Structure 1
Amino acid sequence: MKILLIGEYSRLHNSLKEGLVVLGHEVILLSSGDHFKKFDSDYSFHSSFLASYWLPRKLKNLIHILIGIDLEKFERGLRFYLLLPQLNNFDHVQLINSDAIETFPFLSRFLYKKIFKKIKNRSLLICGDETPVIDYLLKKESDYSILTPYFKDDSLKKHFEYPLKYTTKNYRKTFDWLVKNCQNLIASDLDYKIPMEKMGYSVHFIPNPVNTRKIEFQEQKMNDKIVIFLGINRSSYIKKGISYFEKALKIIQEKYAEKLAVIITENLPYTDYINLYNSAQIVLDQIYADDQGYNALEAMAKGKVVFTGGGKKFMDHYNLKEQININALPNVDSLVNELSFLIENPESIVAIGKRARAFIEKEHEYISIASQYLEAWDLKTIS
């Protein structure tokens, strides 16, 4: 079977592709590489001309300041359009989200229509910001969410342009059109499953695929110092609650100066990011979550203790009795207490790391997850 995957924000589609290939299918992945992260892709629609050269970049920035139009969106749409003649004879297409091509909504719809004329079996993945997800978060029914900082201080609105764009007329029109023209909506974790269902949508829940053959488990060894890693993506700094981690780290560094080392990075390509956190025993991922994002899952697969979503909803859903990560709350004192316990009880780092790996192997193993996708797409019997 021949499968087309469009878009990549986290390595989800790359890992899914790897699982599908093991199962004997041909898979082509198209993406922009997600800017500085530079994820692998078979064909790229990255805006390389406007993003890579000094003069075009300066002109692009000037036009954006003067009239508010992002020409990189146009370049990505154009590059995708030029790839269309190569996209033939696919059995299924899956979009990473409704803005998978990262272009203007009207141009997205035009390009999706071109693709959908060729491919009749289609699915839309909900694995990040999306129209019903943001609609639900705006209702303020959860204890906290990625929009909490915005609710507390609406002067931060410009930092939330990306999630809030999905509630505007044109992005909403694109999402609604996709719902009518895709056979499946698939949610990748509880942070998207719960809002989608609360907003009345029926979704297949399929956890993120993690390539456990490629990611080697490393039993944590306690050396002279415990290493804590914080990787910052500046564009999501506020909505991931990174300032809580920074404040907690300042206290912890003063309290345990002789016992730990801290690595902080910012806006690194994916491969560099992974190489830098390999030496860490503890990874600080994100606040404001019920479940784990992709970086957290990969770190857990390596046996690291990850501060991320892991509260009651998550524990109940997977029927867990022991911690497989640390539930990162938007509370500095809580983070300091959790970090202090780990530093003073290093054997707990080893134990949680082992349970984390076992959890990933049970719930996120990439070949098993690929099979679940085939079943959701109703393509398991097609070869």
Structure 2
Amino acid sequence: MAAEERLRQSQKMEAIGQLTGGVAHDFNNLLTVIRGSVDLLRRDNVAPEKRQRYLDAIGDTADRAAKLTGQLLAFARRQTLEPEVFEVGQRLDAIADMLDSITGSRVLVRFEVPDAICRVRADVSQFETALVNLAVNARDAMESEGTVTIRLCCDARMPSIRGHGPGTGDFVAVSLSDTGIGIAPDDLERIFEPFFTTKDVGKGTGLGLSQVFGFAKQSGGDVDVESVVGKGSTFTLYLPQAESTVPGEPRPTGQQEAIDGEGRCVLVVEDNISVGQFATQLLEDLGYGTAWVTSAEEALDRLGSDGDGFDIVFSDVVMPGMGGIELAKRLARDLPAMPVVLASGYSHVLAQEGAEGLELLRKPYSASQLSAALQRRIAWANERNG
């Protein structure tokens, strides 16, 4: 037993080392592009076309960094999901052309979808991303030539997976089978680890399947894999089945794409000094008035009993003491007319409880995304309050 415990600890440390090494490697590559572009922008007499090229490089690299952190948070089950009830067959039909394009002309994608209605409650975007990641994995396993079969099964039972007991209740099972090279038995146990990949250097980050795993677990399901070397693999995504649609909170139209703050006053609640300074400067450049506090407790003091002088509260989620979600709940109780927008790049609270009824802005956010979120919430509050 002691030897087994030492072995498990050794494997755990190896996995942590692989994860941190992979993160450091990928982020160093991204930071190299950003740092180099900034240095070149600081040079005198940079031609306008070159300046735009460097700015585009910084923007594109920031987008890739955001995608990388999103994949890591998905595996860690710490991403913030936006679950809704949807019909799985309809979503498969909607992304069929995209899957055909991703897998290539030499890969035949077949669908076996029953006539029965199969509903789940999950994040639609993450669901589609999971299918894309599975399809890309299948394409690479077949060296871009073969057949991918996607099957949908309603009222399924989730079996025992990786030593965990079987799931309770009904599940929707989406299986993706390929005719590729299969997975070696020794690799099956590690296939969902971040940055673990059997592909050649430069052909994969090892984060696609970890996203599928994290999304499934965070949604109350799981993902199973069966494989025979030389004959192919089958990945099955299990998601809890939903009985009926649940109406979501309608989002008002109009002004959502507007940028100008038109003098509206925003109370910024952010404990990180750099982020707080950046957010207030960004809002002021967009035409908003701002006040900045570093804690939810201080925000409640500034708002007082009537919130006079402020049009909206923009708060971080994770802070020492009272967090952003608790602050939003306090304001909904004490100042129901005060709209709130939350921002977070990582929150186990939101990952577990969701953000239903709240306007959530994911970090990193752009200037237009921030202003649109604020104006959308202000418009929503105005409509609700008459």
Q: TM-score range by the shorter chain?
A: under 0.3
Give the structure-1-normalised TM-score.
0.27
Higher radius of gyration, 1 or 2: 2
Give the structure-2-normalised TM-score.
0.27
Relative contact order higher in (CA < 8 Å, ≥ 6 apart): 1
Q: Judging by fraction of residues, say which structure has more helix.
A: 1
